[in-house]
Amino acid sequence: MKVCIAEKPSVARDIAEVLGAKQRKEGYYEGNGYQVTWTFGHFCTLKEPHDYFDYWKYWRLEDLPMIPSSFGIKLIDNSGVQKQFKVIENLVQNCDEVINCGDAGQEGELIQRWVLLKAQCAVPIKRLWISSLTEQAIREGFTKLKESDQYNNLYAAGSARAIGDWLLGMNATRLFTKKFASGKVVLSIGRVQTPTLAMIVQRQKEINAFVSEEYWELKTIYRETEFTATIERLRNLEKANKGLAYLKEHPFEITSFEKKEGKEGNPRLFDLTALQVEANKKYGFSADDTLKYVQSLYEKKLVTYPRVDTTYLSEDLHPKIAGIMQDMTPYSALTASILAKPIPKLKSVFDDKKVTDHHAIIPTGVYPGGIGLEEKRIYDLIARRFIAAFYPECKISNTTVLGKVGQVEFKVTGKQILEPGWKEVYANDVSARKEGEEEEKVLPLFVVGETGPHTPRVHQGKTTPPKAFTEATLLRAMETAGKQVEDEEMRELLKDNGIGRPSTRANIIETLFRRKYIEKRKKNIFATQTGMDLIDTIQSELLKSPELTGIWERKLRLIEKGEYAMETFKQELIQMVVDLTIEVKTNAHKTITIAPDPPPVPEKEEPKPKEPKKAIVIEELSCPKCKEQLLKKGNTAYGCANFKVCGFKIPFEILGKKLSDKQITDLLSKGKTGKIKGLKVPGSETEKEGKLVMTADFNIEMEQ
């Protein structure tokens, strides 16, 4: 008998279906020589301090640092976990082979290995390693099962990460809490959360210290085009007015006219961070929510494995691209031009050297039916990015015009899109422009040496403070260890030194909110007084420096590649904890208190990311009858987009009453409306009050 262990019951069900293990038992499926069981997230955790020594239960400075001679694991104290573990333990001890079907990533490997370790597995172990949960991917994966030992380095990196987080988190949190906190306040310190908080605090200090200054610029309009003086901004109005008077005495002269054609490269495929950034910018989704939505899409077989940090595909995927695009029927208008020719093997998309265990997030081609609005939006981002990657480049023309008025030089730049290329995929999307990108501005043709009258003016402005972090910009800063990087090639190179992993960054940000070290005002993230005090108290650069933390992260990646010893990493961390303990114990005392909750903001706060649920867009709902097509608005009714075959429709007016979008949505999602007054029932002279109900055969009836 072969035992397969999946990471979730839903995944186990899919695997059991493919393997023919159809018989449902208590905690597993059985059949065709397989038993398919599951965990649900972390079953095991590293032992807590009191599991090693009773006296480590108490938080005392004199007991620090706590360094176990060896680290052990234990089952989580949860009755559901313990019951399911007994099932797994029993199956593992009575089988011939185990197939690890956990999530194909570092965390998934760690979860399953710890369970197998705790269950004292003594039989051979194979590894299922797949990038999507479609039936085809599962079947292919089982024909190419890997040896478990191939992933020993991945497990070592996961273990090193967990041990590192324990050593630093347990010791530093107790250390700073006992030394600097008052009352029952806990000062949480973490290997990734503290440098992340430090970046936010640093930005907060720059904003707080900023003093806005007024400035004046000289501008002039010549041939309906506004030029700006290239001299430094003027710091007082008197100088500006003198400049204006000077400009009025001289004509405008064109000194240079340069037009260059160029290209705007296609957007990269999504890794998890880029997807979280885009969803935050476009829809205000938090990083945590985006991860939940894309994980759900993965489990519904609609997209590939999401917890990835590469924007490339492996070269062996090239032959499959056309098939995926052909299956993406809702986007057939966009994919037609790509499918009309052979799919190009673009270096910006396919690169085996840039792909490790998984490739970028792309659609699987499975029809995206029956998903909620938020998931639909995330799917649409992934689908359009996938399509755009294979479109022609966008061809542009950049124009720079220089001029002068007397001795004062002026400049204007313009941009014209000559061939939209990939921008056609986003033709109806005003938010598709890259951050800081200029809008298209077509300039007239100028001739060098031409002169003429112009209309000068003084523009008054104010210097602006540095921008507060949003979740989008904070995720980017974590990815590049605080370096401001716009270039995508450079960003790829810095990923090894980023802080945290794509799959954990969302949780780190949520932890900082939960600890009240940061707060959100509209989309912006600010440090609270507690967060600022905590960072000010930490003297050790190693704890709060994104660059230094990035070095630790790089070592973890080297362990994953088998290029750095886990034991060396562990010893380095132990030394760091010892040094930190000595340093903090001898520090001057400064008490930190929890910042009070901020007073209510009078202006309407921006809603949490789940707000889009309130939007009722009936055309984005699936037909409840065939469940395959979206609904379409006609002249008198909403109906299935494939009405001729399916036949489903809901009239705008039923029993003499015009239905609201909310009532139609209730019929579609709940099968009935709330009570409606004034319904005109045939055969009755009086108007009735009742609910409209959708019957099992998809007709609408009244229920009193």
- Residue 488 counted as domain residue: yes
CATH number of the structural domain spanning residue 254: 2.70.20.10
- pLDDT tens-digit series, residues 37-65: 999 888 999 999 999 999 999 999 999 99
Grade residue 94 by pLDDT with cuts at 50, 70 and 90: very high
- Residue 246 counted as domain residue: yes
* % of the chain beyond a pLDDT of 70: 92
Question: What is the structure's pLDDT at 602?
Answer: 42
429 and 353 both lie in a single domain: no
- Residue 612 counted as domain residue: no
- pLDDT tens-digit series, residues 228-241: 999 999 999 999 99
CATH number of the structural domain spanning residue 506: 1.10.460.10
With a cut of 80, say whether residue 433 has pLDDT above it: no
- Residue 630 counted as domain residue: yes
254 and 170 both lie in a single domain: no
168 and 238 both lie in a single domain: no
CB 577 within 8 A of CB 166: no
With a cut of 50, say whether residue 412 has pLDDT above it: yes
With a cut of 70, say whether residue 432 has pLDDT above it: no
How many independent structural domains does the chain possess? 5
Grade residue 177 by pLDDT with cuts at 50, 70 and 90: very high
| Nearest by Cα to 78 from 66, 67, 86, 70 | 86
494 and 565 both lie in a single domain: yes
Cα of first residue to Cα of last residue in the chain, in angstroms, is 57
103 and 135 both lie in a single domain: yes
- pLDDT tens-digit series, residues 117-159: 999 999 999 999 998 899 999 999 999 999 999 999 999 999 9
Which amino acid is located at 395 in the chain? K
Whole domain around residue 451: which residue ranges?
A: 214-262+400-435+445-462
With a cut of 50, say whether residue 611 has pLDDT above it: no
- Could you please report the per-residue DSSP string of 262-331? EEEPPPPPB-HHHHHHHHHHHH---HHHHHHHHHHHHHTTSB---------B-GGGGGGHHHHHHH-GGG
Q: How far apart are CA 363 and CA 626, in angstroms?
A: 22
249 and 355 both lie in a single domain: no
CATH number of the structural domain spanning residue 314: 1.10.290.10
Question: What is the structure's pLDDT at 430?
Answer: 57
Mean pLDDT over residues 318-328, rounded? 95
- Residue 279 counted as domain residue: yes
Question: What is the structure's pLDDT at 609?
Answer: 42
- Residue 150 counted as domain residue: no
Phi, psi of 426 (to 5 degrees): -115, 25
567 and 639 both lie in a single domain: no
What's the whole-number average pLDDT of the chain? 88
Residue 531's contacts (CB-CB under 8 Å, 6 or more residues apart) are 197, 200, 201, 512, 516, 517, 518, 595
More confident residue, 693 or 317: 317
172 and 63 both lie in a single domain: no
- Residue 154 counted as domain residue: no
Q: How far apart are CA 298 and CA 349, in angstroms?
A: 21
Catalytic site residue 305?
yes
- pLDDT tens-digit series, residues 263-320: 999 999 999 999 999 999 999 999 999 999 999 999 999 999 999 989 999 998 999 9
Q: Is 423 helix (H, G, I), strand (E, B) or coil?
A: helix
- Residue 292 counted as domain residue: yes
255 and 329 both lie in a single domain: no
577 and 495 both lie in a single domain: yes
Q: Is 632 helix (H, G, I), strand (E, B) or coil?
A: strand
- pLDDT tens-digit series, residues 470-522: 999 999 999 887 776 566 665 565 666 788 888 889 999 999 999 999 999 98
Q: How far apart are CA 159 and CA 156, in angstroms?
A: 5
Question: What is the structure's pLDDT at 651?
Answer: 85
pTM of the model: 0.76
* Per annotation, catalytic residue among 155, 305, 312, 331: 305
- Could you please report the per-residue DSSP string of 88-123? HHHHHTT-SEEEEES-SSHHHHHHHHHHHHHTT--S
Q: How far apart are CA 60 and CA 179, in angstroms?
A: 10
310 and 360 both lie in a single domain: yes
Q: Length of the chain, please? A: 704
407 and 481 both lie in a single domain: no
